[in-house]
Structure 1
């Protein structure tokens, strides 16, 4: 084993770290975190690559680029060095209030 090689992070631990990072990112318009808003569509981990899809709350979400950039930065910081992170917006999946965390759904009256 090469002495400079980094130990592998178990996928479950990395997934938890990614979700924790995304929970620290607020939607710039709603002021709530991406996880509770239910905009995290998928987190895929393949070796040292992490792919995250976000679902916009509207088809014309004006802050989509900011959300992607903020999520990209947060996830990259949460991952081990050398991890490739790709965060993208999934414009084909429709967001609905059912995706909200129960406490937010109740607070928003949905």
Structure 2
């Protein structure tokens, strides 16, 4: 897969399961996948860890903890046992609506 919605580094066999797991995580404020909203900035997989860099639409997001917990849960179900799951919130670069998928923009009526 060359057209990834976010940068991915790791084994090809985990690319799709991780993407599917992250697509199951919903931002409850907009009722859309965090992938479609553009909150996932990148994924790096090593033999020891799955690291996800993500952001929120706002630093004041009241559901950030819920989204991070859901991402950890879904990733834990998707990757082989023994890998640590690390979801890190980052604020640079700042999220913009340009990060949203065409599907998300259509859903929002943009």
Asked if these proteins are the same fold (TM beyond 0.5), I'd say yes
| Partner residue in 2 for 1:89 | 89
Is 1:102 the counterpart of 2:102 in the alignment? Answer: yes
Looking at secondary structure, tell me which structure has more strand per residue.
Answer: 2
Measured in 1, the distance between the counterparts of 2:69 and 2:46 equals 21
Q: Which runs of 5+ in 2 are unaligned?
A: 1-9
- Within-5 A mapping of 1:1-110: 11-110=11-110
Structure number with greater Rg is 1
Q: Give the Å deviation of 1:39.
A: 0.5
Q: Deviations over 1:14-73 (max 9, x none)?
A: 122111100011012111011111101110012231100111111211111111000001
Measured in 2, the distance between the counterparts of 1:14 and 1:66 equals 24
State the Cα RMSD in Å: 1.4
Measured in 1, the distance between the counterparts of 2:82 and 2:107 equals 40
After TM superposition, the score normalised by the length of structure 1 is 0.84
Q: Which runs of 5+ in 1 are unaligned?
A: 1-9
Give the length in aligned residue pairs: 101
After TM superposition, the score normalised by the length of structure 2 is 0.84
